[in-house]
Amino acid sequence: MTGSLLLVPNALDLGAQAIDLQEVLPLGVIRRAAALAHWVAEDARSARAFLKRVDAVVPLALPLQQIAVHELPRPRKGGHAPVPAAEWQALLAPALEGHDLGLISEAGLPAVADPGAALVEAAHAAGLAVLPLAGASSLMLALAASGLNGQSFAFVGYLPQDAAARVARLHELEALSARLRQTQIVIETPYRNQALLSALLSTLAPATRLAVSCGLTLPAGWSRSDSVAGWRAKPPPMPERVPAVFSFLAG
């Protein structure tokens, strides 16, 4: 018998003041997390911090120091060399030996805008059961709050840092949005939130609809949806430490 790979959701408060875990995760998910002795995470330290929060709600099955937390492989030099299959097998070893294995993201759902997707792919290739647990996805929450087209949308991740390349990419995405009536969703490192908002407002057409969700699930979180012209008239200051999601739909 093999174990399962459990995709355990995290809170969305990374970099902000921690909130009550029960405000954002179902108790059943917290219980499943408390029972796991084997984990894979992007960062072991933040994963252990999450487990401490779990332990405050449901006692961990083992002392924290006895819980194994292994990190996902770091990107290879140049970012193009594939991770050897043996490394994925090593991470999946507990599940192959019959133990349930938890995968956790830095924030939100594992494997969604997250490098853990490669481990999920490897788990399927190894014939392991993959079980996603219920929790918040900042991308889906932002889309729901945007009022934009939720029937057709695309997450396109980060935009180029080079100004000219970023403008070209935004024009390309805006044209695609207009042709397909498709919402385009982008993100940025929090300290560049203001720079991205400025780029969106200076590049997109005035009639294009732009939505921004910031600090989702946090007490001071907010969402605003308006035309680019409306945003230009009243541009807000963007926080540098709180994640934001930006969505737009061509008019």
Which pLDDT tens digits describe the chain residue by residue (251 residues)?
899 999 999 999 887 788 899 999 999 999 999 999 999 999 999 999 999 999 999 999 999 999 999 999 986 666 667 888 889 999 999 999 999 999 999 889 999 988 899 999 999 999 999 999 999 999 999 999 999 999 999 999 999 999 999 999 999 999 999 999 999 999 999 999 999 999 999 999 999 999 999 999 999 899 999 999 999 999 999 988 899 999 999 98
Q: Is the pTM of this model over 0.85?
A: yes
Residues 6+ apart with CB under 8 A from 121: none
Q: And the tokens for 113? A: 């805008």
Residues 171 and 191 in one domain: yes
Residues 71 and 36 in one domain: yes
Residues 76 and 157 in one domain: no
Phi-psi region of 181 (alpha: psi -120 to 50; beta: other; left: phi over 0): left
Q: What distances in angstroms separate CA 211 from CA 20, 108, 139, 249, one per listed residue? A: 27, 20, 12, 9
Task: Out of 89, 108, 132, pick the residue that ends a domain.
Answer: 132
CATH assignment of the domain containing 244: 3.30.950.10
Task: Out of 104, 132, 160, pick the residue that ends a domain.
Answer: 132
First-to-final CA distance of the chain: 54
Q: And the tokens for 171? A: 């024009």
Residues 110 and 170 in one domain: no
Q: And the tokens for 42? A: 């992007």
Rounded Cα distance between 66 and 63, Å, is: 5
CATH assignment of the domain containing 48: 3.40.1010.10
Instruction: Show the domain range for 74.
Output: 4-132
